[in-house]
Amino acid sequence: MHIAVVGTGYVGLVSGVCFAEMGNQVTCVDIDARKVESLRDGRLTIYEPGLEVYFDRGRRENRLRFTTDLAEALAPADVVFLALPTPPGEDGSADLRYVLGVADDVGRLLAEARRGLAGAEAGGDGAASRPWGYKVIVDKSTVPVGTSARVTAAIEAHGLEAGEDFDVVSNPEFLREGAAVDDFMKPERVVVGTDSERAAELMTRLYEPFVRSGNPILVMDEASAEMTKYAANAMLATKITFMNEVANLCDRVGADVDKVRRGIGTDSRIGPKFLYAGIGFGGSCFPKDVQALHRTAGQNGYDFRILQAVLDVNEDQKRALVPPVLDALADDAGRLDGKTITVWGLAFKPHTDDVREAPAHVLIREFVGLGADVVAFDPEAVETTRATFEREPLEGSGSLSYAETAYDAAAGADALVVATEWPEFRRPDLARVRRSLKPGPNGAPLLFDGRNVFEPGEMAEAGFAYRSIGRPAVE
């Protein structure tokens, strides 16, 4: 099959590379010329485990191409994926400017091609050799209910007929950054929202190789497909947030959230996943999708109260380590001037370089604002962090610098904060870390674990003054 993917970010690039790996002919389009040039030159623009092998193979075997020219990608395509950003607008609703803008471009190009073909048949200017025909336009972006109808209208505005010249399908993406390639190659389910049998058949044919183990391709109406994506993300964000609130209460009553997690996770109705307490969720999806669903509810006269609570609790949770750090290190004015704080982890979660809405960034802003010098380390997310703070500079008298290794970052610091649970932070040489850090107020160096990667008992034995989320300290 010939596929065009418009938008070559996390979702578009992974989708394009994986479709090519299944033998399809894929052209990825992006307006960012630098990105396209880099991909053409064989340099990946995101970090995602396992992506490089398929990317290299797709390019080598000429199944994977990159362009800034939408018309070039559109011409041969049977299926056109829109993997465009849908950032939150000022009121929290999804900003559809990119999706609808490209839908308009697609409509214009399809209409021009049709006119060209008609002209060529009459006058023979050669355009008839271009294989423009029926196309399925797929919303892969996360978009509110009603968007596929708006995409259809934007294309029809150019004189094209849905069902005849094209169909629009909602095909939300469920991949997780950090495991995106695995998730895309072996999805737990594929959701296809369309009333068109022709489009459903094409989509089923495209996705069948990905669900050979028997996972379902669920064909449903567009509105339900669009809602499914938001409901899934909102449910997951709620599950995390619920557990964070349980942890906050555990802290106050002397219970251990890890034991509670195991206690409830063994109930098959609850399940063991997504029950880990920490300093909150971030990323490009949960915060914006919860906001957007809350907004959709409001626009439809429904106050989806639990979602506002999730957003509020999560904002506080990102700062959960600030009070204990201040208790240990602040001067009488409540400031951290002259203190050095090491932050391990910048990405919003492990195995990605994505720092959008990362809790680590919130902590860094707080510490620098209070006068601390922060030294950060992350295996993948230093460059994306640099770029973020260049765009939105830090405020305050403190500073931020980066270290080459986790150990270098800890050298001479007054406290170590773990903000992302990268595997390499789980089993460091603790004696070396302890020697690197300065002694805390009670003699033992301070370690604040925002992701509960260490065991409190082991950390006490290793000589740290250790605090985590929802677990009693062991002295």
Footprint of ligand NAD (CB under 6 A): 6-12, 29-32, 35, 83-86, 98, 101-102, 141-142, 173, 175, 177, 284-285
Helix (H, G, I), strand (E, B) or coil at 415: strand
- Pick 8 or 291: Cβ nearer ligand NAD: 8
CA distances from 405 to 379, 384, 408, 424 (A): 8, 17, 5, 11
Q: How far apart are CA 296 and CA 147, in angstroms?
A: 12
Nearest to 445 by CA among 342, 353, 357: 342
- Pick 10 or 54: Cβ nearer ligand NAD: 10
- Is 142 annotated in a binding site? The answer is yes
**How many CB atoms lie under 10 A from the CB of residue 175?**
20
The CB-of-229 to ligand NAD minimum distance in angstroms stands at: 7
- Is 273 annotated in a binding site? The answer is no
Q: How far apart are CA 374 and CA 342, in angstroms?
A: 6
- Is 339 annotated in a binding site? The answer is no
- Is 278 annotated in a binding site? The answer is yes
CA 126 to chain centre: 44
Element (H, E) at 430: helix 430-436
The CB-of-165 to ligand NAD minimum distance in angstroms stands at: 21
Tell me if residue 18 is catalytic: no
The CB-of-469 to ligand NAD minimum distance in angstroms stands at: 24
- Pick 5 or 341: Cβ nearer ligand NAD: 5
- Is 51 annotated in a binding site? The answer is no
- Pick 234 or 246: Cβ nearer ligand NAD: 234
The CB-of-289 to ligand NAD minimum distance in angstroms stands at: 7
- Pick 89 or 472: Cβ nearer ligand NAD: 89
The CB-of-262 to ligand NAD minimum distance in angstroms stands at: 28
- Burial class of residue 226 in the structure, from the number of CB atoms within 10 Å of its CB (0-12 exposed, 13-18 middle, 19+ buried): buried
Are 180 and 14 in contact by the 8 Å Cβ rule? The answer is: yes
Residue with nearest beta carbon to ligand NAD: 9
Q: Which segments of 254-349 does DSSP mark as H helices, in order?
A: 257-265, 286-299, 305-317, 322-329
- Is 96 annotated in a binding site? The answer is no
Task: Give the amino acid at 228.
Answer: T
Helix (H, G, I), strand (E, B) or coil at 351: coil
Catalytic, out of 18, 28, 250, 285: 285
Annotated binding site for NAD(+): 30, 35, 86, 142, 177, 288, 356
Instruction: Give the active site residues.
Output: 285
Binding site as annotated, residues: 30, 35, 86, 142, 174-177, 229, 274-278, 282, 288, 349, 356
Give the residue ranges of the annotated binding site for substrate. 174-177, 229, 274-278, 282, 349
